[in-house]
Structures are given as structure tokens and as C-alpha cells.
């Protein structure tokens, strides 16, 4: 099966997951991408796809977006672009799968790491970390989602507002990678399939949100993410050592 079809379907399915749960889809997709893409293309292609996924999910629930939280997050995001953009320029692309894999495993299974991430409840800092780290590890949605869950009582508001935050982070990612010379047009065919899959998946996930049982789905996502993260790390280690 052509890679466009495979990753288009993957974008569709992971976007459904994100539409239902509000997170998990982006992390699952970025764990799959190293199996099919060169390391240097993973983050920018993931950024375009997830911008489509998050912005469409936000639009499908536009009345639930909490716009009052936007200014602080936006200021933090701008700072994150500058600080982490400088760091990105000095990281070999070969090791990006390792950074992604470690981030996923720590975020899922380390209570200390999870507590460290979740305790930043200032939206300036959340914007800085979520957008800045997104340049390096790609999927950072849980950073803001964990805080929104404490402040908002409506699941639709949490998911819609988190989607708005992530849309900003992915726009920043696309701009930074475009600035440093990544050519998105070289991957236009793949991106069309992935973007269409993401938008359709967001629509389906939004419709299914009220019907889903989260507990079982969350366990499956965590298990799949962990296996894929270990595979990513092992592939780099075995290749160079």
C-alpha cells in the first residue's frame, strides 16, 4: 500500500481518537511516523497534519472555545519559539526519534515527570513549554489539557480550548521549520492525504465523543504508544551502536 494511503488512514484514525478524548491522537501519530518517514521530516509533516486536525476539531466545537485564555498562552508561545528554536538548530535530526520516544514513555509512565509537567498552571509557561517543546518532540497537547481539566468542568470546552492552543503551537512549528529551510511542497501529495484524513477524523471523533467509554480506549492508546516509543529508541540505538 502506498505511504500516502497508510499515513492518510493513520491520520484519520488518530484524529478520531483526539476528537473523542481531546488528546492522544497526536502522540500516537508521531510515534508511527518514524516507521515511514526520514527523521528530518517527522516534526514538520506532523505539524501540518496536526494543525488540520486541531483547527478542524476547534471549528467543529467553536462555541465551546474559551477565548479568554488565549492572550497569555500566545505570549508564552512566542517566547517558546525563540528559546526552543535556537535549541532546535543545534540538535541532529537523527536523534529526534529518541527524543520523541523518551518523551512519550516519560509522559505516560513516570509520575515524577508527569507531576513536573502538570504543575505549571501559569498559561504563559504552558504556552512556552507546549509550543517550544513541540518544535522538538512534536506532540505536547497533554501539557495544557491537564491544566484545562482542572479549570473547566465541560469536556467539550476542554477539548475545544486545547485544540485552539495546539493549533497555535503547530502554526509556530510550521513557521519555524519553513524558516530553517524545510520544503513542504516536496511532500505535497502525502500532506494532502494526511490533512484530509485528519479533518474527516476530527468530524467523526466530534460526533462520537458523547458515545465513547474512555477508560478502555486510554489503556490501548498507552500500550500502543509505549511499544512504538520503545521501537523508535531501539532503532536508533541499534543503527549507531
Phi, psi of 66 (to 5 degrees): -95, 90
Long-range contacts of 188-191 (CB under 8 A, 24+ apart): 189/4, 190/3, 190/4, 190/7, 190/45, 191/45, 191/48, 191/49
Q: Are 60 and 206 in contact (CB under 8 A)?
A: yes
Specify the pLDDT at position 119.
Answer: 67
User: Exposed, middle or buried by CB within 10 Å (0-12, 13-18, 19+), for 51?
Assistant: buried
CA distance 174 to 33: 17
Grid coordinates representing 31 are: 510515534
Cβ burial 69-89 (10 Å sphere, 16+ → b, else e): bbeebbebbebbbeebbeebe
- The per-residue pLDDT string of the chain (241 residues; one tens digit each, 9 = 90 and over) reads 789 999 999 999 999 988 887 777 888 898 889 889 988 898 899 999 999 999 999 999 899 999 999 999 999 999 988 888 777 666 666 676 777 678 778 877 888 887 776 665 678 888 888 888 777 776 677 677 767 877 777 888 888 998 999 999 889 888 888 888 888 899 999 999 999 999 999 999 988 887 766 666 667 667 776 877 787 788 778 876 6
C-alpha–C-alpha distance, residues 113 and 19, integer Å: 26
Confirm if 221 and 171 have CB atoms less than 8 A apart.
Answer: no
How confident is the model at residue 59, as a pLDDT?
94
Cα dist from 152 to 40, 98, 146, 157, 229, whole Å: 37, 34, 10, 7, 31
Q: What is the DSSP string of 128-195?
A: HHHHHHHHHHS--HHHHHHHHHHH---HHHHHHHHHHHHHHHHHHHHHHHHHTT--GGGGHHHHHHHH
CA dist 155 and 161 (Å) reads 10
Residue 61 DSSP symbol: T
Contact 152, 158 (CB under 8 A): yes
Alpha helices in the chain (DSSP H): 3-21, 25-32, 39-60, 70-88, 96-109, 111-118, 123-137, 141-151, 155-179, 188-208, 214-240
pLDDT, position 195: 96
Amino acid at each position: 500500500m502506498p505511504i500516502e494511503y497508510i499515513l492518510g488512514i493513520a491520520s484519520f484514525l488518530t484524529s478520531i481518537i483526539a476528537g473523542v478524548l481531546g488528546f492522544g491522537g497526536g502522540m500516537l501519530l508521531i510515534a508511527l511516523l518514524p516507521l515511514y518517514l526520514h527523521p528530518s521530516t517527522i516534526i514538520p509533516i506532523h505539524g501540518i497534519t496536526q494543525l488540520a486536525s486541531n483547527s478542524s476539531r476547534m471549528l467543529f466545537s467553536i462555541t465551546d472555545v474559551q477565548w479568554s485564555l488565549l492572550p497569555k498562552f500566545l505570549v508564552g508561545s512566542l517566547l517558546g519559539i525563540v528559546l526552543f528554536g535556537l535549541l532546535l538548530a543545534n540538535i541532529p535530526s537523527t536523534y529526534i526519534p529518541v527524543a520523541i520516544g523518551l518523551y512519550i514513555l516519560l509522559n505516560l509512565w513516570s509520575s515524577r515527570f508527569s507531576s513536573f509537567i502538570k504543575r505549571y498552571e501559569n498559561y504563559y509557561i504552558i504556552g512556552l513549554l507546549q509550543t517550544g517543546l513541540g518544535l522538538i518532540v512534536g506532540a505536547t497537547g497533554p501539557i495544557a489539557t491537564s491544566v484545562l481539566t482542572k479549570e473547566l468542568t465541560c469536556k467539550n470546552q476542554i477539548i475545544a480550548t486545547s485544540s485552539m492552543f495546539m493549533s497555535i503551537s503547530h502554526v509556530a512549528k510550521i513557521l519555524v521549520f519553513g524558516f530553517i529551510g524545510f520544503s513542504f511542497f516536496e511532500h505535497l501529495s502525502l500532506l494532502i492525504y494526511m490533512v484530509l484524513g485528519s479533518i474527516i477524523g476530527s468530524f467523526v471523533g466530534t460526533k462520537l465523543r458523547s458515545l465513547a467509554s474512555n477508560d478502555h480506549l486510554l489503556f490501548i492508546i498507552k500500550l500502543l504508544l509505549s511499544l512504538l516509543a520503545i521501537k523508535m529508541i531501539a532503532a536508533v540505538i541499534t543503527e549507531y551502536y
